[in-house]
Structure 1
Amino acid sequence: MKHLLSVMLIALLAAVQAQAGGIRDFLLSEPGVVFRTLPQAARAGLVANAELGKSRTTEATNRMGNTSKIDTLTTDYVAVQLSGSSSIALKMLNKGKADTVIAVIETVSTPARDSRITFYDTRWKQLPAKKCIKQLPAMRDFFKPATPKNKLNELLGDIDFQLIELQWTGAGFNTLTATHSLKSFYSKEDYQKWAPYLVDTITYHIEGTTLKPDKKQ
């Protein structure tokens, strides 16, 4: 009973703080839709130690028996390593003081890395992706504009799995970088037929609560 009351208190306190707090408060208030294997009490312990500068030496065991830890924690960005093969990164997108979106990147290794991004409001209600990014990156976007249409369709037809890793990079983690994983998933021989037509990365910048593709890519 005492443990249950402690968990409920943590959840209540986090929910109140998240209304006007930073990313650490949203990490604590997340109800378990994103962090399905890492309960709020474990997250609270990781945050407390990260804020004391102990994030690199502090770990927690999640519900799957894997080791979880916080890799990076700033006022508006947090990266959590859930296990050796999965991670979650939260980034606050702000437009003034009243409008905030939480962008969540979940990444798994297959063994090539593959990600998905979802968006939530401050009450953890999922938002339509198109509200925050006009078009999610797809494998087609990595091919150079000069690639002939027939050749493009042929090359896309040879790709069985569209594996794309998403990361927050750059100063203040304010750039969304999409990187295709073809080189690490397919054989060297297979990759060579795509390589001349590809760009390695696509980047997006933050404008308020939306992500816009950078020009000249």
Structure 2
Amino acid sequence: MKKIIIAFFIFISTSVFSQKIDDVFKTMPNSVLPGLSESNRTMFLVDTGKTVIPYSLGKIEKLAYTPDFLKIKTSDIGTTQIKLLPLINDTKIICVIKTVCGNACDSRIQFYSTDWKELDSNALLPDISPESFFDSSQKNSDNYKFAVSLPDIYPVSAEFENGSNSLTLKLDLTKYLSSEQLAEIKPFIKNETKTLKWNNTSFN
């Protein structure tokens, strides 16, 4: 079933010719980044010397820009990453990561075809759960069960490091929990970060 879904993604991508970050950014729906007009987007991309531009909801800042990757700061606590990922037939899909950093950084990951039809992230991204970061060999101990139940959410940030196709996930608990809670949880954390590789069909 997953292969059928991926084949469908490839089909809908081949019908669209926009294959550079400039093209998809200019045609991006307002719902992805509200308040940013087409003229704002054009100015943002064309003027390479300008990294900050005003728009109706404040200002945005260009943090990184390559032919297939754009990272922008949308507020004091928010960033958006837009990445073109290659498929096996030399077309691409779009990955958008919106991250908000309060007491911790938490990311939302979405996928689109290059004409901005939303795709099923479950077929492209493995399940990201607390168990991904914890030592599962200890899961039957009472202390483990108590520790993992302490946070009400598990904030995980996602980053395309240096604009590459590798996605780095980080369990961000340091500022979110008290020192006492962290002391309970730390012994059971196997890795605070993990890296997912893009294989031209999905992340794994």
TM-score (normalised: structure 2): 0.84
Q: Secondary structure, in 3 states, of the residue corresponding to 2:174?
A: helix
Query: Counterpart of 1:41?
Result: 39
- Determine which structure has greater relative contact order: mean sequence separation of CA pairs < 8 Å that are 6+ residues apart, divided by chain length: 2
Query: Counterpart of 1:88?
Result: 80
Query: Counterpart of 1:21?
Result: 19
1:210 CA drift (Å): 1.0
How far apart, in 2, do the equivalents of 1:123 and 1:153 lie?
44
Query: Counterpart of 2:94?
Result: 102
RMSD, aligned α-carbons: 1.8
How far apart, in 1, do the equivalents of 2:169 and 2:23 lie?
27
Counterpart among 131, 147, 152 of residue 140 in structure 1: 131
Query: Counterpart of 1:195?
Result: 186
How far apart, in 1, do the equivalents of 2:63 and 2:122 lie?
29
1:120 equivalent to 2:118? Answer no
Q: Is the 8 A contact 2:150 2:181 kept in 1?
A: no
1:97 CA drift (Å): 4.5
1:192 CA drift (Å): 1.3
Structure 2 counterpart of 1:105, one-letter code: I
1:119 CA drift (Å): 0.4
1:168 CA drift (Å): 0.6
Q: Is the 8 A contact 2:88 2:201 kept in 1?
A: no
Runs of 5+ in structure 1 lacking a partner? 1-17, 213-217
Q: Deviations over 1:113-143 (max 9, x none)?
A: 11010000111010011221132x1222110
Structure 1 counterpart of 2:56, one-letter code: R
Query: Counterpart of 1:60?
Result: 53
Q: Is the 8 A contact 1:47 1:70 kept in 2?
A: no
1:182 equivalent to 2:173? Answer yes
Count of residues paired in the alignment: 187
Alignment of structure 1 residues 146-185 onto 2, 5 Å = 146-150=137-141, 151-169=143-161, 172-185=163-176
Query: Counterpart of 2:11?
Result: none
Runs of 5+ in structure 2 lacking a partner? 1-15
Structure 2 counterpart of 1:148, one-letter code: K
Structure 1 counterpart of 2:101, one-letter code: S
Q: Secondary structure, in 3 states, of the residue corresponding to 1:133?
A: coil
Between the two proteins, what is the percent identity of the paired residues?
Answer: 22
